[in-house]
Structure 1
Amino acid sequence: MTSPADTFNLTFDSTDAGVPTVVGVLGGGRMGAGIAHSFLAAGAHVTVVDINDAAVEAARERITNDIEGSIKRGAEGTVEQWLDRLTLSTDTAAFADHPVVVEAVPEIIDLKADSFRKIAAAAPGAVIATNTSSLSVSDLALSVDNPVIGLHYFNPVPASKLVEVVVADSTPEALVDLAREWVAGLGKTPIVVKDAPGFASSRLGVAIALEAIRMVEEGVASPEDIDNAMVLGYKFPVGPLKLTDIVGLDVRLGIAEYLESTLGERFAPPQLMRDMVARGELGRKSGRGFYDYS
């Protein structure tokens, strides 16, 4: 069966690294800024759109900090040369004629669907890639006629080596192959997964984190000792509780609630997790979670 996405032109001008020469990113938060930086590092021109001037300036600061870090680690060019390839705006009309736009707004399905529609209105010929970590890419794709694929990056994007390529029901096969090439061009490793709740990484990662939180709740061991068990015993680069602090307890709570609604009771969030989010103990971004960052 032919879907509207099959009629799109999936031929792109590419940088030397093999990524599209022009890329849009909707959302300039921690993830969106990291995604923008990754494409800048691969030689692309990047347009970042966020909700207001304050958000745009915060995105500029995040991206600039990431650029400075890359240059300190030996990347070529100056900060100014990198920033010359960056455009920031509060208007999705800035995505006009962009062949690829990555959506990186908060993990709220109605917000993401509305973002898809805004991208499609501004760039009706664009591939839309969503950075969702758990929501159905196939359901989001129903919002637009554009070809849609999931590109699930990991936090922090500059340091992470993995991107999940999530295949929606309507995703053209040629786009899956292209997305794998783009991820490799960003210096990361793609894994291809079908559109299932939580994909591979969030489903496994959240399952481990929820059990670790239950262990804290039951007084089995301290957060430090639980994390050390996984770091020292299983060679995890960071423990599940510290990683939850990095991701954000509110973000992981939302994912857990979605997985509970789709996969069942085994993903029910512990009461401790709900209580911490209610108190504003969201992890590193709030200064306190399972660890104190103040």
Structure 2
Amino acid sequence: MAIQTVGIVGSGIMGSGIAEVAAKAGHTVVLRSRKQETAQAMVAGLEKSLAKQVDKGRLSPEDRDAVLGRVSATDHIGDLAGCDLVIESVVEDLEVKRALFAELDDVCKAETILATNTSTLPVVEMAVATRRPDQVVGVHFFNPAPMMSLVEVIAPLTASEATVEAVTAFASACGKDPVQVKDRAGFIVNALLFPYLNNAVRMLENGTASRDDIDAAMKGGCNFPMGPLALLDLVGLDTSLSILEALYAEFADPNYSPAPALRRLVAAGHLGRKSGQGFYEY
């Protein structure tokens, strides 16, 4: 099916970023949050992002206005009824997501594809919460969505080939580079990335090297743009902990068992950049 109207559920930075990507690609976008003020705040964030691009000469004022004209905000889930694709980007809690998918299933037209932006959780668990499991997939954008080129398209056992291909085509139309992956915890990127990040925390705990030297070594020795501890702060330590817990629950691999220091920082409310303090202070 041709995807023209896209619904985004969730008021965080990922929801706003995906909305920007879809609207720039010419899609009509409906942003839904539980409160109208947070939905409007997402639009305000989008306006700010586009304004910066205009100031830097990357976007014309006319194109900015056209993008904004394709985006609307709402606190009413019924306004998603006519969307061809709905992407949820709410909290990484399986029960919350399952309840949302059941609600979307009741609200949306029969043809609507329902997608999750989860980074780790099993997509099939959300699919079976609906009466359309063949039309449920994962579509994992990376943060910041407007800048990152990769999108993981996750196919649970229940998804039809037509659904997977439609969402892959949508990601390509948005200028992204989609890869298809089976529904296993962590998919491709996080399954490979988080053992590395977790072991960097263990190395810091063990006193092998300092925080700054660990990050400098991986930047200078592997040509990574950011060291592992700084990257954990960017991702969010609470998000990182949740991803590791989900990976360990599925695979029982010691490399996925969260380092104690990571747990302690999250317990203290030191969540990285978003809280102003993590492995670094901001």
- After TM superposition, the score normalised by the length of structure 1 is 0.90
Mapping of 1:54-65 within 5 angstroms?
Answer: 54-65=37-48
Residue among 229, 245, 249 paired with 2:217 = 229
Map of 2:278 onto structure 1: 289
CA pair 100-235 structure 1, distance change in 2 beyond 3 A: same
User: Unpaired runs of 5+ in structure 1?
Assistant: 1-10, 13-19
Determine the C-alpha separation between the residues in 2 that align with 1:174 and 1:113: 23
Determine the C-alpha separation between the residues in 1 that align with 2:203 and 2:44: 38
Deviation at 1:73, TM superposition (A): 4.6
Residue among 109, 134, 137 paired with 2:123 = 137
The amino acid that maps onto 1:74 is R
RMSD: 1.4
- After TM superposition, the score normalised by the length of structure 2 is 0.93
Map of 1:270 onto structure 2: 259
User: Residue 24 of structure 1 contacts residue 46 of structure 1 at CA under 8 Å; is this kept in 2?
Assistant: yes
Determine the C-alpha separation between the residues in 2 that align with 1:161 and 1:231: 21
Deviation at 1:132, TM superposition (A): 0.4
Deviation at 1:99, TM superposition (A): 0.9
Mapping of 1:74-85 within 5 angstroms?
Answer: 74-76=58-60, 77-85=62-70
Deviation at 1:200, TM superposition (A): 0.9
Q: Which runs of 4+ in 1 moved over 4 A?
A: none
Residue among 75, 86, 89 paired with 2:71 = 86
The amino acid that maps onto 1:288 is Q
Determine the C-alpha separation between the residues in 2 that align with 1:239 and 1:185: 32
SS at match of 2:114: strand
User: Unpaired runs of 5+ in structure 2?
Assistant: none
CA pair 136-88 structure 1, distance change in 2 beyond 3 A: same
Map of 1:206 onto structure 2: 194
User: Residue 7 of structure 2 contacts residue 80 of structure 2 at CA under 8 Å; is this kept in 1?
Assistant: yes
Mapping of 1:26-45 within 5 angstroms?
Answer: 26-45=9-28
What percentage of residue pairs aligned between the two structures are identical? 35
Q: Report Cα offsets for 1:188-231 as digits up to 9, x if no partner.
A: 11111100111111111111110011111112222222122222
The amino acid that maps onto 2:125 is D
Determine the C-alpha separation between the residues in 1 that align with 2:18 and 2:57: 18
Determine the C-alpha separation between the residues in 1 that align with 2:57 and 2:270: 33
SS at match of 1:209: helix
Q: Report Cα offsets for 1:209-267 as digits up to 9, x if no partner.
A: 10011111112222222122222211222222111111100001011111111111411
Determine the C-alpha separation between the residues in 2 that align with 1:179 and 1:69: 29
